Structure formats: structure tokens, C-alpha cells
Amino acid sequence: MENNNNILEKNKDQKKDDLYRVTVNREGERALAAIVERVNDGFIGGRVNRTQVASWVLIKFSENTSENEINQIRAEHFDEIAVLECILRQAKESGQVPPEFKSLLQKRVSIGDNQKKRITKKALTNNIINDDI
């Protein structure tokens, strides 16, 4: 009977844990289901569910994530518009546009370099060829 009370207390503690929802795409769902199946296949000590596996994977990944993996995630989710919005926000706050963007913007609207470029004409030479046809 005491053993059953310990089990009930353990279940109550597990229910008290905060649970959060995470949404994954179809490929993530397939991967999670495959992991759950592999873990449960031949495991006679119990059963794991998707929530348990997903939590375990996330915790282990966070403990062992390298900068290379962080950069891979960033590269896969790079958003040019978000970068431009951030640069615009920083420019508004500081009152200055980074020089590389200033020159890019000037090129985009066809100003800036035009003033620096001068069209030089070639001088006339005395080298002439007279051909009689």
C-alpha cells in the first residue's frame, strides 16, 4: 500500500510540472515519431511518449549545441527584410546610415558616383591615313 502511495505522489508531481506546447512541421513530426518508435522498440522497462522524447532531445541539444549548429540554424532562417528593418531602426536611432549602405543606396538611385566620374574625351592625334579608292 505504501508503494502505491509513492507512485501516486510521483504522478501528482509529474502533473504539477509545467507543460508547454511546441508546434513542429510535418518533417519534424515524422522525425519525432521515428525516434519514439526506435526508443520503444524492444524497451521492456516502460514506454516513452512524444512529449518525453521531445523534451529530452531539446535539453540534450541545448547542452551540446556548437556555434556551427547555431550558425546553420541562422542561415536556414535568414530573412533579408528583417535585416533591413533592423538596420533602418538603428539608423533612425543613431541618425547615421552605415557607409556601405549609404553607397549602396546612392547607387540604387543613380547618384553619388556620377559626380566623381568624369567623361574624358580622347585627344585628336596627327596620325592619319589617306586612302584613295
The pLDDT of residue 12 is 55
Q: What is the pLDDT along the chain (133 residues), one digit of tens a residue?
A: 555 455 555 555 555 568 888 899 999 999 999 999 999 999 999 999 999 999 999 999 999 999 999 999 999 999 999 999 999 999 999 999 888 888 888 888 887 555 555 566 777 777 777 777 6
pLDDT on residue 82 = 95
pTM exceeds cut of 0.75: no
Residue in the block written with cell 522498440: 41
**What per-residue confidence (pLDDT) applies to 108?**
86
Question: What confidence score (pLDDT) does residue 25 get?
Answer: 95
Q: What pLDDT sits at residue 18?
A: 82
Where helices occur in the chain by DSSP H, the ranges are: 2-16, 26-40, 50-64, 67-76, 80-94, 99-108, 113-116
**C-alpha 128: how far from chain center:** 65
